Structure 1
Amino acid sequence: MRELIPTLDTKEKSFHGLLAVGALAGVIEGSIRYGLTLHTAFPGMLLTLLGAFFGGFTGFFLKDCLRTWRGLKPYRGINNDGWVMGGFLGALAGTLLQVAASPDGANLVIGSILGAYAGAACGAIPDEVVTPILLRMLEKAPGKP
């Protein structure tokens, strides 16, 4: 049975974490305003995902501008591990900072969106070195022959 369920790689885990942080931020913010609500999970999830996507786009755009300015070929991301991991960590940090900064815990989705945007933009810059590092870590894992 275990071989039928594939294991998730780092990018997939970070993507699911990004969705979970956005959904939790949406549910908590909706529950603060209207009582227990579950229908605010999807908008929080979608807006956080869009923030991460636009952050990754911005990061890759700035990276390509800097590379072409130096006379190098533009970088074309293949695996995109860096911006997805950065988006997840940024969304988590942005939500936690919004919880800490807000006296009533409101606008958690705004914190997750801005955090995902900033994290994905910063994660897109070192994207070409993140995947080889993850592959080497996977090769040296204790369960691998």
Structure 2
Amino acid sequence: MKEFIPRPDTKEKSFHGLLIVGGLAGIIEGSVRYGLTLHTAFPGMLLTLLGAFFGGFTGFFLKDCFRAVRGMKPYRGVNNDGWMMGGFMGTLVGTLFQVAVSPDGTNLIIGSIVGAYIGAACGAMPDEFVTPILGRMEEKASDRP
């Protein structure tokens, strides 16, 4: 049965983690304001995903600008593992930071959006190095019995 269900790769795990953290931030913030609400999960997920997308776009744009200034050809990401991993970590850290600094637990979605943006922008910079490293880690793990 295992061969019929493929295991998610790092980018898919980071994507799902980003959605989960954004959705939980939306539920918690909505519950703090209005009582228990589940319908605020979707806006939290969507806004966090948009923050990660724009952060990745900004990171790749800046990376291409820096490469063009140095006379190199622009980088065109193929796997985009770096910015998805950065977006997930940024979302998690931004939400936890907002929980720590907010006295009443509000604006969690703002923390997840800003964290996703900054994390994805920073994760896009080393993107061309992340995928080969993950590939070698996968090879090393598959060599073990």
Normalised by the size of structure 2, how large is the TM-score? 0.98
Q: How does 1:76-95 map to 2 (within 5 A)?
A: 76-95=76-95
Q: How does 1:1-145 map to 2 (within 5 A)?
A: 1-141=1-141, 144=144
- Give the AA of the match of 2:74: P
Q: Could you tell me how far apart the structure 1 residues matched to 2:50 and 2:144 are?
A: 36
Q: Could you tell me how far apart the structure 1 residues matched to 2:27 and 2:20 are?
A: 10
Give the root-mean-square deviation of aligned CA atoms.
1.0
- Consecutive unaligned residues of structure 1, counting only runs of 5 or more, are none
Q: Could you tell me how far apart the structure 2 residues matched to 1:142 and 1:59 are?
A: 32
Q: Could you tell me how far apart the structure 2 residues matched to 1:63 and 1:92 are?
A: 24
Q: Could you tell me how far apart the structure 1 residues matched to 2:144 and 2:47 are?
A: 38
- Give the AA of the match of 1:118: I
Q: Could you tell me how far apart the structure 1 residues matched to 2:136 and 2:21 are?
A: 28
3-state DSSP of counterpart to 2:141: coil
Q: Could you tell me how far apart the structure 2 residues matched to 1:117 and 1:22 are?
A: 12
Q: Could you tell me how far apart the structure 2 residues matched to 1:4 and 1:96 are?
A: 37
3-state DSSP of counterpart to 1:3: coil
- Give the AA of the match of 2:34: Y
3-state DSSP of counterpart to 1:76: coil
Q: Could you tell me how far apart the structure 2 residues matched to 1:143 and 1:70 are?
A: 40
Runs of 4+ in 1 over 4 A off after TM superposition: 142-145
Q: Deviations over 1:25-72 (max 9, x none)?
A: 000000000000000000000000000000000000000000000000
3-state DSSP of counterpart to 1:6: coil
> 1:2 Cα deviation (Å)?
1.7
> 1:119 Cα deviation (Å)?
0.0
Q: Which moved more, 1:135-144 or 1:77-86?
A: 135-144
Normalised by the size of structure 1, how large is the TM-score? 0.98
Percent identity between the two aligned chains? 79
Q: Could you tell me how far apart the structure 1 residues matched to 2:125 and 2:62 are?
A: 8
